[in-house]
């Protein structure tokens, strides 16, 4: 009997052991399977990350490759617009310019999406005068709004601090997109841009709303509105155009700063987009250039002194473009095809006793790039005050600007460059022209005041001529005044006014008869008033 019990106990123990062993084997097999799965998942994740990085690198490279020739198209178009064109030619070139700008926006949007997806977006924290920023954004869209008979108004509540900490460029990008959409999708009424503060349990929040009285968005549209490439209503999207990227980018940009965008809309009534950002008050942003490096001259254009400038640029179209722009500014410029040539040219120019005053340096060049060339020049002892180096590049993100200054550059101009932007930047480093032979005081302030006086005088003259009897008006005199204005407007940041003045001058000359002159003025007046 005890043996039977013993056998049973042994058998039970053996069975228990067998079960435990089987469980252990299963657990081991499961652990091994889990391990395999983990390895598989890790490999898949790595592949996905590599694919993501490859995609954003590809997009960044593509974007650079597309932007470079596009800069040429936009830049040369700008030069062409400033030349003597007849009306039809002017209209055609203007269409090329508009198409070029639209394409540039698209390329930049795609690059933004890639950067955000790859988590490569870096934001700056900058003290910013919000009132001024909103005013500037509204002003940029005013011409289009006015053409549609819409008013754009801004209101900032007193509770909003004078200075807030935000990434200025990105805030501008979001607000411009929201106002741009509001203008685009509104046919009657107006657009209000408002900023106020809301106190929440998490602290104060800055609210910026863009409210329109436009076509509104359907309920289904609202569900996908922040999804990339989504445009809500298909037929409407075809009617209004666009890519469906703006809001997706805006909401992701705002998301990176722990903010969000909300939308309320009703078809046929209007839309209210509200941007919510954690409110951080800044010290003072009175002067956005307060931290800029010491300058030799003023931040302005008018007349540039005779100067010797080196352009380091590998792309042939851009070489010709920047050369043409410097020539139009009366600057003596030389080309270098890459960083190595640039360093050599700078050294040789110094040895020859005719050193360069400024280098305009492309960042991305074959062989020695702009950053490396700058480092080499600084190592060779060319200091920032001997030789300011200005990056002239399509790479305009905060990290690019930082890389340029870390390499020893003093400033940065984003492509596509315009003659005005180039002149203004060169004036910063070269200083204003010396006094002329006649001893005329040519300070920027005086010139600017005189320019503004001339502009006011012409505006006044034209306003009166709109209503006066045509044969009592000195049309030839007006054409002469317009000719003078057209010649200088671009130097004071009024390039568009220059173009319109030139066109009006031509129209008046072609019209001949007083009646026809007044008719031409009536036709061109809205464009002139808008540009002024």
The residues of the shown chain that bind ligand ADP, judged by CB under 6 A, are: 177, 181-182, 185, 212, 214-217, 221, 225, 231-233, 236-237, 242-248, 271
Closest distance between ligand ADP and the C-beta of residue 141, in Å? 12
Please state whether the peptide bond connecting residue 212 to the residue before it is cis, i.e. omega within 30 degrees of 0. no
Q: Which is nearer to ligand ADP, 106 or 421 (CB)?
A: 106
Q: Which is nearer to ligand ADP, 226 or 451 (CB)?
A: 226
Q: How far apart are CA 137 and CA 66, in angstroms?
A: 27
Q: State how far the alpha carbon of 115 is from the alpha carbons of 15, 122, 241, in Å.
A: 61, 9, 24
Q: Which of 194, 212, 190 is nearest to 154 (CA)?
A: 194
Q: Which is nearer to ligand ADP, 176 or 335 (CB)?
A: 176
Q: How far apart are CA 377 and CA 476, in angstroms?
A: 55
Q: Which is nearer to ligand ADP, 75 or 246 (CB)?
A: 246
Q: How far apart are CA 231 and CA 160, in angstroms?
A: 33
Residue nearest to ligand ADP (CB): 242
How is residue 515 annotated by DSSP? Answer: H
* Residue in the block written with tokens 């698209």: 106
Q: Which is nearer to ligand ADP, 210 or 417 (CB)?
A: 210
The number of C-alpha atoms within 13 Å of 478 and in the hemisphere containing its C-beta is 28
Closest distance between ligand ADP and the C-beta of residue 100, in Å? 17
Q: State how far the alpha carbon of 249 is from the alpha carbons of 65, 107, 513, 528, in Å.
A: 22, 13, 54, 35
Closest distance between ligand ADP and the C-beta of residue 187, in Å? 11
Q: Write down how long the chain is.
A: 532
Q: Which is nearer to ligand ADP, 250 or 411 (CB)?
A: 250
Q: Which is nearer to ligand ADP, 113 or 279 (CB)?
A: 113
Closest distance between ligand ADP and the C-beta of residue 145, in Å? 13
Q: Which is nearer to ligand ADP, 178 or 462 (CB)?
A: 178
Closest distance between ligand ADP and the C-beta of residue 276, in Å? 17
Closest distance between ligand ADP and the C-beta of residue 60, in Å? 22
Q: How far apart are CA 207 and CA 198, in angstroms?
A: 7
Closest distance between ligand ADP and the C-beta of residue 235, in Å? 10
Tokens of 97: 């310019």
Cβ atoms within 10 Å of 201's Cβ, excluding its own = 4
Q: Which is nearer to ligand ADP, 244 or 297 (CB)?
A: 244
Closest distance between ligand ADP and the C-beta of residue 212, in Å? 5
Chain centroid to CA 382: 31
Tokens of 252: 């992701």
Closest distance between ligand ADP and the C-beta of residue 123, in Å? 20
Radius of gyration of the chain (CA): 31
Q: How far apart are CA 79 and CA 139, in angstroms?
A: 25
Q: How far apart are CA 521 and CA 517, in angstroms?
A: 6
Q: How far apart are CA 330 and CA 310, in angstroms?
A: 14
Q: How far apart are CA 165 and CA 107, in angstroms?
A: 28
């Amino acid at each position: 009997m005890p043996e039977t019990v013993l056998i049973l106990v042994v058998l039970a123990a053996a069975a228990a052991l067998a079960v435990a062993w089987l469980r252990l084997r299963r657990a081991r097999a499961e652990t091994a399977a889990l391990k395999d799965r983990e390895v598989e998942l890790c490999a898949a994740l790595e592949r996905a990350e590599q694919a993501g990085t490859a995609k954003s690198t590809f997009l960044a490279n593509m974007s650079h490759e597309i932007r470079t020739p596009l800069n040429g198209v936009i830049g040369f178009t700008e030069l062409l617009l400033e030349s003597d064109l007849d009306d039809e030619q002017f209209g055609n070139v203007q269409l090329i310019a508009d198409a070029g700008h639209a394409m540039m926006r698209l390329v930049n949007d795609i690059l933004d999406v890639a950067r955000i997806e790859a988590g490569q977006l870096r934001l700056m924290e900058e003290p910013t005068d919000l009132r001024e920023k909103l005013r500037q954004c509204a002003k940029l869209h005013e011409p289009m709004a006015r053409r549609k008979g819409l008013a754009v108004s801004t209101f900032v509540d007193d509770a909003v601090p004078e200075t807030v900490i935000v990434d200025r460029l990105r805030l501008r990008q979001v607000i411009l997109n929201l106002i741009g959409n509001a203008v685009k999708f509104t046919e009657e009424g107006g657009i209000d841009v408002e900023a106020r503060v809301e106190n929440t349990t998490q602290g104060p929040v800055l609210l910026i709303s863009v409210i329109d009285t436009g076509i509104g968005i359907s309920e289904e549209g609202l569900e996908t509105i922040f999804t990339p490439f989504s445009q809500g209503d298909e037929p409407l999207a075809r009617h209004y155009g666009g890519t469906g990227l703006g809001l997706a980018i805006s909401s992701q940009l705002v998301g990176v700063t722990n903010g969000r965008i909300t939308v309320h809309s009703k078809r046929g009534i209007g839309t209210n987009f509200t941007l919510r950002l954690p409110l951080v008050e800044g010290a003072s942003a009175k002067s956005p250039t307060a931290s800029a490096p010491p300058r030799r001259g003023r931040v302005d254009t008018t007349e540039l002194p005779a100067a010797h400038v080196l352009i380091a640029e590998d792309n042939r179209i851009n070489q010709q473009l920047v050369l043409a722009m410097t020539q139009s500014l009366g600057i003596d410029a030389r080309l270098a095809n890459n960083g190595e040539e640039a360093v050599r040219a700078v050294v040789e120019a110094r040895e020859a006793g005719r050193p360069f005053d400024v280098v305009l340096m492309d960042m991305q060049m074959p062989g020695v790039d702009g950053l490396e060339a700058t480092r080499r020049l600084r190592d060779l002892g060319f200091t920032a005050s001997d030789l300011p180096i200005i990056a002239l590049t399509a790479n305009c993100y905060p990290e690019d600007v930082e890389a340029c200054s870390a390499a020893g550059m003093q400033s940065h101009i984003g492509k596509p460059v315009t003659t005005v932007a180039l002149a203004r930047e060169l004036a910063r480093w070269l200083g204003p022209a010396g006094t002329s032979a006649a001893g005329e005081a040519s300070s920027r302030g005086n010139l600017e005041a005189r320019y503004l006086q001339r502009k006011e005088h012409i505006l006044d003259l034209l306003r009166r001529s709109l209503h006066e009897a045509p044969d009592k008006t000195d049309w030839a005199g007006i054409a002469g005044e317009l000719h003078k204005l057209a010649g200088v407007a671009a130097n004071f940041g009024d390039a568009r006014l220059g173009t319109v003045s030139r066109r009006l001058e031509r129209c008046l000359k072609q019209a001949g008869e007083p009646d026809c002159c007044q008719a031409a003025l009536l036709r061109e007046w809205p464009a002139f008033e808008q540009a002024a």
